[in-house]
Structure 1
């Protein structure tokens, strides 16, 4: 909880300094209409906020963290890295924004796996069981490794803050983008179509070997509660 409080203060300070966001942290209620069954889940309510050069860990080498996926396979980040890079997606089965992006992420994985990107889904929510995770994998067509990671070593290394935050690493494990998938969905809002496709733009830039224009955003969704912080 100490980590969460610090993260909230930092995020709020950045946003208020830029003047582009009024922070609203709300608590999810009972598990109705897609709300989180764990209750008391803080949510980032607002559109993605571009962090620019203040995006944490962007441009840095990410440690080669090991993990065990839900199939019992022991691997590390380098072992699942594609020729173009690696995408790490933070998941939470019952977070409403995570659910809205499930199908889209499955399609992006399918398209960009063929372009040389590895994918990894990471779920740090202790309330999500292997059974509900397997249901989500089937529903959205995820094919990449999926990790139930309550100890959160991968999330800590990336300094992840929300679900469904995404992280795009190049083939040398340098973090090139972190943040929202796009700007279509958030807590309390839905656009007909996205105006900014942050994740896909970053993937295209990394594949082409060019600079990523938007290096990081605050991603709308459910704040992570990481133990040990």
Structure 2
């Protein structure tokens, strides 16, 4: 008993480091990579044209991916209110949407959590306060077309809907670590390069987050109107 007490006291006295680090609610759903890793552009599908995908906005309007295209292209953000990485990046991506939507980029959020009810999704969409389309049913079809792997990913399409960037917003947050500030602003750099008609220095990365199974059949559980309920 005495040895057990000493062990417990020792554990309590160990300094806590990286207290701000994010941890997945369900470790089994975390991506296998905790941080950002660069990916070869060919492997990531950079340059391929993304097919048009029909969808319903969270508030009921039916439209399609191509109809979103801005003069400079489209930024598609993966969103899951139950994923700590996705939640932490909400304010930052919302600010970027405000800054870059005035420069010719359209923004859209795809919701990839079929277990949340429509009220939870709409509340999250309202809290984002971003000038962006929030997508309900059709999110998983878009995710399948993009080959989404993680809730931490963002995708940039050019004005002709070719994939020009996919990966992390930046490298500040991941599972098990948090930096004081990002050292690589991948998305911002990609958008700035597009505005300058320059090539993107890092067009593809892995993005830490909750792992995604982009099965279009899951769209059956996402809302098609404000009054629809999720199973």
TM-score, length of structure 1 as denominator length: 0.79
Report the secondary structure of 2:58's partner residue: coil
1:141-180 aligned at under 5 Å gives the runs: 141-149=129-137, 152-180=140-168
Match of 2:84 in 1: 96
Counterpart of 1:106 in structure 2 is 94
Query: 1:52: which partner in 2?
Result: 40
1:136-156, Cα deviation, whole Å (9 max, x unpaired): 222221231111247711001
Separation (CA, whole Å) in 2 of partners of 1:48 and 1:124:
21
Q: Higher strand proportion, which one?
A: 1
Q: Which has the larger radius of gyration?
A: 2
Cα RMSD, aligned residues only:
2.1
| Alpha-carbon offset, residue 110 of structure 1 | 0.5
| Structure 2 residue matching 1:183: 3-state secondary structure | coil
Q: Which stretch of structure 1 is more off in the superposition, 202-211 or 135-144?
A: 135-144
Conserved 8 A contact 1:125-1:150:
no
The answer for the alignment partner of 2:185 in structure 1 is 197
Counterpart for residue 16 of structure 1? none
Partner residue in 1 for 2:173: 185
Cα deviation, residue 35, structure 1: 5.3
Instruction: List runs of 5+ in structure 2 lacking aligned partners.
Output: 1-21, 218-231
Can you give the 5+ residue segments of structure 1 that lack an aligned partner in the other structure?
1-32
TM-score of the two chains, using structure 2 as the length reference: 0.79
Shift of 1:41: 2.3
- Number of positions where the alignment pairs a residue of Structure 1 with one of Structure 2: 196
How far 1:71 sits from its partner (Å)? 1.1
Aligned match for 1:123, one of 95, 111, 116: 111
Task: Give the superposition deviation at 1:56.
Answer: 2.1
**8 Å Cα contact 2:83-2:209 kept in structure 1:** yes
Shift of 1:39: 8.2
Local SS of the residue matching 2:31: strand
2:88 maps to 1:78: no
User: How far is 1:57 from its partner?
Assistant: 1.9
